[in-house]
Amino acid sequence: MITITFPDGSSRVYKSGVTGLDIAKSISPRLAAEALCMKVGGQLFDVNKPIDTDAVVTFYKWEDDEGKQTFWHSSSHLMAAALEKLYPGVKFGIGPAVENGFYYDVDLGDKGITEADLAKVENAMLEMAKEKHPFVRQDISKTEAIKNYSDKGDEYKCELLHDLTDGTISFYTNGSFTDLCRGPHIPDTSVIKAIKLTSIAGAYWRGDQNRKMLTRIYGITFPKKSMLDEHLLMLEEAKKRDHRKLGKELELFAFSQRVGQGLPLWLPKGAALRERLENFLKAVQKTHGYQQVMTPHIGQKELWVTSGHFEKYGKDSFQPIATPQEGEEFLLKPMNCPHHCEIYKTKPRSYKDLPVRYAEFGTVYRYEQSGELHGLTRVRGFTQDDAHIFCRPDQLKEEFCKVIDIVLYIFKTLDFKNYTAQISLRDPLDQKKYIGSDENWDKAESAIMEAAQERGLQTVVVKGEAAFYGPKLDFMVKDAIGRKWQLGTIQVDYNLPERFDLEYVGSDDKRYRPVMIHRAPFGSMERFVAVLIEHTGGKFPLWLTPDQVVILPISEKFNDFAKKVCNFLNNSDIRAAVDDRNETIGKKIRENELKRIPYLLVVGEKEEAADLVSVRKQGEGDKGQMSAQDFAAMLTDEINKLTESLT
């Protein structure tokens, strides 16, 4: 007999060899029907796996991230089975689950596939799903696995097998399709009820531009047709909110092939919006004792060797810059932290000096492959709202709490209401990949968990996702249409203070290492602006929006009066402009509303005679007439009320 313990602390006794599915059935028929995978002793498995020792067991359903990932990974196998049926001789690369769905990289040989062909693949998948094929696991030797794929002529799977260790190789079969896979998978294909293959793209094998270009087919599946319908509606709304489309329409940013892929150009309105965000955060940081610093865009290669970034990111970075001096090389900086460590070292530090908090809107550069670039969310040059706190171990928890407060204030200000905090800890089963003492790790992990609890955060604890130098807290935010984004991160680091030999003198005159906190509430200015555009649909908060007011003269006879009103508003710290184009007033109103202008002021003969303006508010229409002075006071009051509600 074995004892199975559940997440709520309760336990039951079962015969050794009981499967997860049998355990689920003993709890409730509904759990058995909805369980997609399970975690046993910290590792994910199929629910039909036998369990022969005492264990902690957690079941995951569609509502859980683990359940969705298993569902979508199994769906990639179902798509591969359909492709093999429709395109005999197709060869397969990899087919993982991704954040929203799955993909499979395939080599169709001389056969082509277009968007128009996806419907027949979907239909084949639905037919196979109805046949209720179980996902059956089989462990085989490396020699046998390589022979099978060699006989089949699939060089991609053979290459993957060569990288694996004998004794760790497993295959899964659903219907007539068998694939190299470590799992886990859903019990059978029948739970897949709705399918949509979304797009086709090219992808170099193993991300190597010197290798063959494969066909990558993306898709998403659901256990209910209604869920797919909701998802498709969300995709339509997402198209309307696409920051690349709105960024162009609102004249915020652009890209130039001559400048280079992934290197955004901030246009005047976008630069002003970004500056307001920076000034907002600088003001918050000033009240929390941060000091602004500035560092170069490059650093000697040795700096990155010392920090460990060259070893970790060197292959994915821009290549070293050689100077006329022999042996001298520089790198575009991929991180700001080594520069800040060197600033800390510019003078001796006492325990009384700590914490030291350095902040910088520092631009960094990382080489992303062209196929991975996406608007502002994935670029090659971006500016982090970076800061590094150097503190004593006894100050760690308090400093961490203060950073959480900053992040939450930003979310409240910008109306991000739905978020969770992911606490990423060490993998207890593989601690060799981390540096630092167990004592320091225990202190750091405890500080993060206690700080999150004290601040009342809704948290998810994930083991094995910590950085190699320390645990971290990532904020996962849902936007207005339910998509999840990672915004804001706080990390605890014992590594860089060691590598850069950072010290402070304690009260006992002995030398100690400070603890380093990395934090970026926005993450990067580029990505944050992209998310903000899509979250708001381009309708920014009044204090942030590039143009708060546009004055619309009915005809050119009233242009001078419009400019007089505009000058008064600008002098009242209200961002205003005049649309004096020779167009009808109706067209001006429509086009400026499409530009998400919060307020439109119409001026004509009656308004000029009475020294008034006719006010229209975005989404609410006509608000009547008032003086420019009263309008300015109304806007100022609206902004002040927002500020007061946040403090």
Confirm if 223 and 193 have CB atoms less than 8 A apart.
yes
231 is catalytic: no
pLDDT band at 361 (very low <50, low <70, confident <90, very high): very high
Q: Are strands 55-60 and 2-5 parallel, antiparallel or unpaired?
A: parallel
388 is catalytic: yes
Residue 133 phi, psi (nearest 5): -75, 125
Neighbours of 609 (CB within 10 A): 9
pLDDT at 641 over 70: yes
pLDDT band at 278 (very low <50, low <70, confident <90, very high): very high
384 is catalytic: yes
Tens of pLDDT, residue by residue over 294-353, are 999 999 999 999 988 888 777 778 888 999 999 899 999 999 999 999 999 999 999 999
Catalytic residue chosen out of the listed positions 181, 337, 341, 566: 337
- Which run of H or E residues covers position 195? strand 194-204
Residue type, 263: L
581 is catalytic: no
pLDDT at 643 over 70: no
Distance CA 506, CA 199 (A): 60
Catalytic residue chosen out of the listed positions 137, 366, 402, 527: 366
Catalytic residue chosen out of the listed positions 388, 426, 519, 575: 388
Q: What is the pTM of this model?
A: 0.82
Catalytic residue chosen out of the listed positions 386, 474, 579, 580: 386
pLDDT of res. 128: 97
Of 45, 68, 66, nearest in space to 57 by CA? 45
Catalytic residue chosen out of the listed positions 185, 274, 472, 596: 472
pLDDT of res. 208: 83
Catalytic residue chosen out of the listed positions 384, 395, 491, 548: 384
Tens of pLDDT, residue by residue over 365-420, are 998 887 788 999 999 999 999 999 999 999 999 999 999 999 999 999 988 988 99
pLDDT at 638 over 80: yes
pLDDT at 99 over 60: yes
Residue type, 289: G
Strands (E), 263-303: 265-266, 291-292, 298-300
Query: What DSSP state is assigned to residue 350?
Result: B
pLDDT of res. 644: 62
67: tokens are 């359940």
Read off the pLDDT of each residue in 485-513 and give the average, rounded to a whole number.
Answer: 93
395 is catalytic: no
309 is catalytic: no
Distance CA 461, CA 457 (A): 12
Read off the pLDDT of each residue in 58-73 and give the average, rounded to a whole number.
Answer: 95
pLDDT of res. 163: 80
3-class DSSP state of 228: helix
pLDDT of res. 52: 93
Distance CA 482, CA 535 (A): 9
Catalytic residue chosen out of the listed positions 518, 535, 596, 616: 518
pLDDT of res. 464: 84
pLDDT band at 645 (very low <50, low <70, confident <90, very high): low
Tens of pLDDT, residue by residue over 418-451, are 899 999 988 877 777 777 778 888 888 888 999 9
Output the CA torsion 352→355→356→358 (10° steps): -170
Strands (E), 223-303: 253-254, 265-266, 291-292, 298-300
25 is catalytic: no
Mean pLDDT of the chain: 92
Neighbours of 169 (CB within 10 A): 21
Read off the pLDDT of each residue in 260-267 and give the average, rounded to a whole number.
Answer: 96
